[in-house]
Amino acid sequence: MQKEAIQVGLTNPEKIYNALAKLTQNAGFKNPEEFWVNPVNTPEQEGQQDRPSEAEIAVQGQLQIEREKAQAQLQQEQLRSQNDVIIEREKIAAQAELERFKAQLKAETDLAIAQIKAQSGLTYGG
């Protein structure tokens, strides 16, 4: 019955040991531990071997936090690099636009000067 009861949480290994110990004593044996292992005396009960300790959980949590920090820093660096590239492209584009404007202004100025000279020559030479 206890085998089935443990599956639904109505008993535990210690209570099963207690029942077996009583049965053994009632059978006339004075020391039930000659036949059964008391789960209280074992360093790890069944199923606890795979569970991490609180210290291990804390260390894992700290490592997770460190990984997340490193990931966030990496993302920040990538964003900064992308922003630096965008800013540099904008500077180059603005500089190129300024050079085109200067060249166009110089060409228009040179044309205006040439037209003024031509008109002046016609007026005075006529």
Quick one: pLDDT at residue 8? 86
Answering whether pTM is above 0.85, one says no
Quick one: pLDDT at residue 67? 93
Q: Could you give the percent of the chain with pLDDT greater than 90?
A: 49
Q: Is the pLDDT at 11 greater than 60, yes or no?
A: yes
pLDDT tier for residue 49 given thresholds of 50, 70 and 90: low
Assign 28 to helix, strand or coil.
coil
Q: How many domains is the chain partitioned into structurally?
A: 1
Q: Could you give the percent of the chain with pLDDT greater than 70?
A: 89
9 or 122: which leads in pLDDT: 9
Lowest mean pLDDT among 9-18, 48-57, 76-85, 113-122: 48-57
Assign 86 to helix, strand or coil.
helix
Write out the residue range of the structural domain in which residue 24 sits. 2-125
Quick one: pLDDT at residue 124? 58
Q: What is the C-alpha to C-alpha distance for residues 45 and 16, in angstroms, rounded to an integer?
A: 13
CB neighbour burial string for 32-65, b if at least 16 within 10 angstroms, e if fewer: beeebeebeeeeeeeeeeeeeeeeeeeeeeeeee
Place of tokens 């109505």: 10
